[in-house]
Structure 1
């Protein structure tokens, strides 16, 4: 795919300012949570300075874009999209070796003990490291050698007071009330009685200052990473969740900006018969607008200190959001919800107003997570503004015709082409366990709705020996729709959900194999050849960005003990202990020496994506 007219209109769009800054050019990128990477100096988890080593790896491989999952303070729940602040960063990512305005030599032994107790790179993150780090950070903060009157610290507190003061008080009150949600605090604290707040600032002054100091240290370290990446031609993309946790400093300090009697979620669909209820309160956009959108612009401007681009999670929520009364019984999930705004003809302009503020107030380029059920107006706005949307290769297919995978030149130019996301299986697991299969729970549910007994048809439809992880693989003899309908004893119109599931999956492996230009019978496992061909295809699309999970790039490296199914960041809708804890099989130092680096650089160059310096 050569540079051409695909991107010429980007620099004359509503996002022209941002496109001129980052360059409307083809780039290859890597996506990873910070908690997944580590270096020899990391203590228990990826630390902010480790990102410099990731930048170095990008330079070596030709990659010029890094996307990070949210770095916001999650307290002790460790779910990056459910943070206690949409602005404050998480102190567990601080490097103790890079703190400023303190005498680190005085604490070298304690740092060494912590490093031995929490070695990085052990398969899954041991989040106990956060409490241990905070204990030592508090000790460093409280030591007489630490300069709390540093002029830069004072300037930071003053400049960021719009959000920092509320956040620091919120954290102090969390300590006072033993981590209880603010909704359960005494009324005078819930409602921020001015006299009570004045008293809190006096009684909790040390704890408040400590939390401000932590945020300053985080600011210093992440700003340095941004400066380093810019110097080497590598762009950084942050992640800005559209919704905010109910138990957050944002909501506590700005209750008028949220509809606290409602919960956001998703309407009933094929997979969730009762819909979903996420818990985050919807925004009260009329009040935010009446206040000049200062709540939104403040956090956008802070994010700009660290990133060139930002990904908006649940981008479609800017147009309309499914909302459910909190009084609804939990077992009804999202059944009793309505869209906000309720009138579809209002959605486009509603989203446009919010997006105009976001694009006007920052030079960062917005990028959209627009997966799932997407209203037409979202695609129209993304095209008008030339905002990159998300195109996951396994789902970019001709669903209304022959189910084939769309050719590389039929992707959106304003797109981010990817093999996987943090909410899906990685490529190798998809190929081995999911491609050519159907979700067993979904299929059983649709059988029941069609008046069928799933257990009676299961063994006749599926190769049970080749099925695993809740995925059912079709028997080879069930090779067309007529045979499928014959086995289930239904006409297509009587079981169209089941028929669609069959048509979309039974020949998936063969279609993908052919899409990559491979010959013969599709391999059962993801070989090095298949991985390379998949990466060449996704990088060869006309999408301006190709953005691959770190584990999909690392799949080029054949290493012992690899468990592709377990090598996953998150399983949506589950509370699995493995969620949000995945750690890379290689340290950043080891990554610099891997033979696959040459292959990555060759793929980047061969698909005409801009090579980093």
Structure 2
């Protein structure tokens, strides 16, 4: 079979057009063996290959090489699918740039919202003497089809009612094969969108008519004209959705916590109220100790494994012992009545049940073809995870440094540990069994959501636990000698310390970010959209020394720290002897320690003279302070502990750990005693270099860092990408997110304009997700009472109401706030379930503070919020659901 590739592409001198593909003449998937195309003049490049007639299909790509520089197409490859009994093909391609409407090419639309429930029968494949047109048109709704209308009678003579329809089997790409002898060549044509049943025209393609000229004459070959794009203004689409953690769901079938299969009921409710998105928190396994602190969903023990707590036990199987089954049924009813999640009991009981069930049916399950297929596809992460879980249970700790000979991961040793002849095999296989059933249930939910046109949106945490499987197996990928966090913000005046190691991006880049790609591709098996937690971490991360506790002692990594010479050149008199160590003054001690000042001086400080003090070796790091006072619960020790921690924050500069002799200004350095010790001129100098360092110096540097990582990760799946871009946002972030078409996050009470008290919802970007609040914030009802002065401003200036604001956020106010957010231009408006319910005084919870999911300032918050009514009850609330659907419909967001 002879195939000729033809592509018009304007190259500059020295540039070569390359062609690679997963068929032998094009390198068989090895880009190093790609072929150089032949230049034919007039910007035309071509290349001809011979492949066996038995070839069924193959993917291929074009790219431009200029010396060592390479320009690549958009990530979606071209695909060749032959017809029958055709010996020659001409593929007339176009270079694939990233489309301007990229979100509509995501699986959120192609497999979810615009999913073609009943694709038309596949039309005739290419044959000799035919010409096939392939065109991308992703924005067609499920009740619409694409026609090819043209000047030929075979194309309806410009009459859409007589024109042939394209095949949507490969949606969002459409195709049609025409017999050239019937259409005649040349002819003019356009694509037209019509409603499927009535053939009512929705949109004609804009611009001049397309032309099929003599150069496309197939003769004895089959001609395929590929990579056309439907030319029309982007059609407005806006959707609504609900954000809620899986553990917060409540149904009659629950076991004291939400479960994956509960999401089916939430899909039904979304469909009933006109919503198209369900946004979840991370669903990975977080089991370390079995205690309530494991409830933190952003601290996973594996970035691939799902949490066993989300398994519906009754769907896995019932125990043969009727008495035992009855005991668990009683526990299920008891736990499901609880107002909040009892994380420890729920997980302990579920694991006890699963162990018993595994003893009864595990061998049969693991022998099934379904499990074998799952194991083959997931072995790369599943086996290490199962071994890790077995070893954690065996040694009673998730700290793998305490596992003796298993402290360092050894692939061959773990293979032996997991072998069927190993005495530990059953403890490993239990976790195979659990993960397989979790996979079945979540995949089932995704399929159910697809049929309803509803999208599941997942969450990618920015960090991984230093005691996770990932850190055990791939320690070189992480900077384990430091910890990630966030600089001070509205959530925490001392900054946030998440405790996670940061990433070693240089090491990750060596294999093309393979760990990240695998992580995202696994996620794409269950979700069609995802939120990148703390997307700013891909530009730079807030890195905190391992011996620090407060985020105030962090610095940005990667960054360009300042040398003493550069500081001097900027007019600042740098002195490491007192500006890089805690600057403790006599007068501050009484303020911090009150009646315990003398005791603190005696036990923990060293007098340096001239009113200055140092901390002694027992207390010279924040980690030593915390460890020393561990378990203290009396007023005196707590006051002393917190005071010593504050003293250790008193530095003006921080030395870079990777570049000794270079320094970062401490965040909020102007609030330190060392700053106050500077004279007025030096304070002004520090202020100028501080502003430059944090807001201007790194803009191009951080942009380059993000563009080195994010494009690769975004292109690795077809999921819709949304970024959580809150906090101290570098100026380059909006530009990069716009370039990559990553949806931003917009929250009215956290405006991104520095001089605004509240965001203007009418000015939100189209490519954004707007919301009233997040899991890290109070809901709109609690927020209303937190700051009466600010609430009054909002009431008068944003809602346009006169007089004094009500003391509580009454339902009509909640509805106004919800409607305001729904009116935004944002593509998505995804609100917490609590804020949807706030508009109904009868349905919403009495105490709004009980709806809080997380308090970021509290590092050991118990994540246990549950819905106070079941989803079945919510589905039965006809009046509320109708009202909500009308509210969403009025904003143009109703599906």
Which bracket does the TM-score occupy, shorter chain normalised? 0.7 to 0.9
Report the alpha carbon displacement of residue 520 of structure 1 after superposing the two structures with TM. 3.5
Q: Distance in 2 between matches of 1:92 and 1:433?
A: 34
Q: Distance in 1 between matches of 2:383 and 2:256?
A: 29
Instruction: Provide the C-alpha distance between the structure 2 equivalents of 1:399 and 1:267, rounded to a whole number of angstroms.
Output: 16
- How far, CA to CA, are the matches of 2:833 and 2:305 in structure 1? 25
Report the counterpart of residue 599 of structure 1 in structure 2.
883
Residue of structure 2 aligned with 1:518, choices 788, 795, 801: 801
Deviation at 1:104, TM superposition (A): 7.3
Instruction: From 444, 457, 472, give the equivalent of 1:224.
Output: 444
Matched with 1:530 is 813
Q: What secondary structure does 1:603 align onto?
A: helix
1:83 matched to 2:171: no
Change (3 A) 1:197 1:334: farther
Structure 1 length-normalised TM:
0.81
- Structure 1 residue 11: Cα displacement: 4.8
The aligned residue for residue 33 of structure 1 is: 245
Aligned mate of 1:544, from 827, 845, 850:
827
**Residue 417, structure 1, aligned to residue 776, structure 2:** no
Aligned match of 1:408: 761
Distance 1:249 1:152 in 2: 25
**3-state DSSP of counterpart to 1:301:** helix
Q: Residue 48 of structure 1: SS of its match in structure 2?
A: coil
Change in 2 beyond 3 A, CA 1:561/1:331: closer
The residue matched to 1:565 in structure 2 has which SS?
helix
Counterparts of 1:229-244 in structure 2, within 5 Å, are 229-244=449-464
Separation in structure 2 between the aligned mates of residue 271 and residue 529 of structure 1, nearest angstrom: 28
The aligned residue for residue 456 of structure 1 is none
Q: In the alignment, what sits opposite 2:499?
A: 279
Asked if 1:109 is matched to 2:464, the reply is no
Give the superposition deviation at 1:302: 1.0
Q: 1:155 aligns with which of 373, 386, 397?
A: 373
Q: Is it true that 1:66 corresponds to 2:278 in the alignment?
A: yes
Rounded to whole Å, the distance in 1 between the matches of 2:757 and 2:462 is: 33
1:131-156 CA distance string (max 9 Å, x none): 11011101101115743201111110
Local SS of the residue matching 1:521 = coil
SS in 2 for 1:239: strand
Q: Is the 1:125–1:583 Cα contact (8 Å) retained in structure 2? A: no
Structure number having the greater helix percentage? 1
Stretches of structure 2 that go unaligned for 5 or more consecutive residues are 1-96, 114-138, 140-235, 562-697
Q: Counterparts in 2 of 1:225-304, with a 5 A limit?
A: 225-267=445-487, 275-304=495-524
* Distance verdict in 2 for CA 1:333–1:586, change over 3 Å: same
Report the CA distance between 1:259 and its aligned residue.
Answer: 1.3
Deviation at 1:407, TM superposition (A): 3.5
Shift of 1:404: 5.6
- CA displacement at 1:231 relative to structure 2: 0.5
Distance 2:788 2:298 in 1: 28
The residue matched to 2:460 in structure 1 has which SS? strand
3-state SS, counterpart of residue 366 of structure 2? coil
Query: In the alignment, which residue of structure 2 is the partner of 1:444?
Result: none
Deviation at 1:197, TM superposition (A): 2.8
1:423–1:572 contact (8 Å) kept in structure 2: yes
1:269-325 residue CA offsets vs partner (Å, 9 max, x unmatched): 687665443211111112222123221111111111111100110111011112233
Partner of 1:305: helix, strand, or coil? coil
Cα 1:162–1:537, aligned 2, differ >3 Å: closer, same or farther?
same
Deviations 1:14-53 (A, max 9, x none): 6563276366720011000111111111111111111000
Q: Which of 257, 262, 271 matches 1:45?
A: 257
Shift of 1:196: 4.1
Q: Decide whether aligned partners of structure 1 residues 190 and 126 sit closer, same or farther in structure 2, where only a CA change above 3 A counts.
A: closer
Does the CA-based 8 Å contact 2:385-2:469 persist in structure 1? yes
CA distance in 2, matches of 1:362, 1:386: 14
User: Is 1:427 equivalent to 2:427 in the alignment?
Assistant: no
Q: Which runs of 5+ in 1 are unaligned?
A: 1-8, 437-504
The residue that corresponds to 2:852 in the other structure is 568
Single out whichever of 79-88 and 176-185 deviates more from structure 2.
Answer: 176-185
* Distance in 2 of aligned mates of 1:435 and 1:184: 52
Does the 8 A contact of 2:497 with 2:549 survive in 1?
no
Aligned mate of 1:140, from 357, 362, 379 = 357
- The alpha carbon displacement at 1:363 in A equals 0.4
- Structure 1 counterpart of 2:394: 176
User: CA 1:596–1:517 in 2, change beyond 3 Å: closer, same or farther?
Assistant: farther
Which of structures 1 and 2 has the larger relative contact order (alpha carbons within 8 angstroms, sep 6+)?
1
Q: By how many angstroms is 1:185 displaced?
A: 2.8
Over 3 Å counting, the alpha-carbon distance change for 1:331 and 1:384 in structure 2 is closer
Q: How far, CA to CA, are the matches of 2:302 and 2:554 in structure 1?
A: 29
Q: Using the TM superposition, give the Cα deviation of residue 580 of structure 1 relative to its aligned residue in structure 2, in angstroms.
A: 1.2
CA distance in 1, matches of 2:872, 2:411: 52
1:353 corresponding residue in structure 2: 708
| Aligned position for 1:610 | 894
**How far off is 1:513 after superposition?**
3.8
Distance 1:596 1:278 in 2: 40
Written as runs of structure 1 = structure 2, the 5 A alignment for 1:369-384 is: 369-384=724-739
CA contact (8 A) 2:247 2:258 kept: yes
Q: SS at the partner of 1:546?
A: strand
Matches of 1:267 and 1:433 in 2, distance apart?
Answer: 23
SS at match of 1:236: strand
Distance in 2 of aligned mates of 1:252 and 1:435: 49
User: Is residue 240–residue 888 contact of structure 2 (8 Å, CA) maintained in 1?
Assistant: yes
Does the CA-based 8 Å contact 1:13-1:385 persist in structure 2?
A: no
Q: Report the counterpart of residue 465 of structure 1 in structure 2.
A: none
The answer to whether the Cα contact below 8 Å between 1:237 and 1:307 also exists between their aligned partners in 2 is yes
Decide which structure has greater strand share: 2
Summarize deviations over 1:519-567 as a string: whole Å, max 9, x none. 4332111111101111100000111110100000011222386101232
Pick one of 64, 87, 98 that aligns with 2:315: 98
Is 1:185 aligned to residue 400 of structure 2? no
1:424-480 Cα shifts (integer Å, max 9, x gaps): 0000110122353xxxxxxxxxxxxxxxxxxxxxxxxxxxxxxxxxxxxxxxxxxxx
The offset of 1:396, in angstroms, is 2.9
Counterparts in 2 of 1:152 and 1:58: CA distance versus 1, 3 Å: same
Distance 1:27 1:179, change over 3 A: same
**CA gap 1:394/1:337 in 2 versus in 1, 3 angstroms:** closer
Q: Verify the 8 A CA contact 1:318 1:351 in the aligned structure 2.
A: yes
Bigger radius of gyration: 2
- Aligned partner of 2:5 in structure 1 is none
Distance 1:255 1:379 in 2: 32
Query: Partners in 2 of 1:92 and 1:270 — Cα distance?
Result: 32
Pairwise CA distance, 1:223: 0.4
Task: State the alpha-carbon separation in 2 of the partners of residues 409 and 268 from structure 1.
Answer: 29
Give the root-mean-square deviation of aligned CA atoms. 2.5
CA contact (8 A) 2:487 2:551 kept: no
How far apart, CA to CA, are the structure 1 residues paired with 2:493 and 2:841? Answer: 41
1:209 aligned partner: 429
Give me the whole-angstrom Cα distance separating, in 1, the residues matched to 2:764 and 2:845.
Answer: 35
Counterpart for residue 606 of structure 2? none
Checking the alignment, whether the CA contact within 8 Å between 1:321 and 1:341 is kept in structure 2 is no
Secondary structure of the structure 1 residue equivalent to 2:502: coil
Quick one: distance in 2 between partners of 1:261 and 1:203?
Answer: 35
Shift of the alpha carbon at 1:195?
Answer: 5.9
Contact 2:496 2:856 in 1 (8 A): no
Check 1:379–1:413 CA distance in 2 against 1; reply closer, same or farther (3 A cut): same
CA–CA separation in structure 1 for the residues paired with 2:535 and 2:865: 25
Deviation at 1:58, TM superposition (A): 0.7
**Separation of aligned partners in 2, 1:183 and 1:16:** 46
Indicate the SS of the match to 2:557.
strand
**Number of the residue aligned with 2:864:** 581
1:518/1:274 CA distance change after superposition, 3 Å:
closer
The equivalent of 1:314 in structure 2 is 534
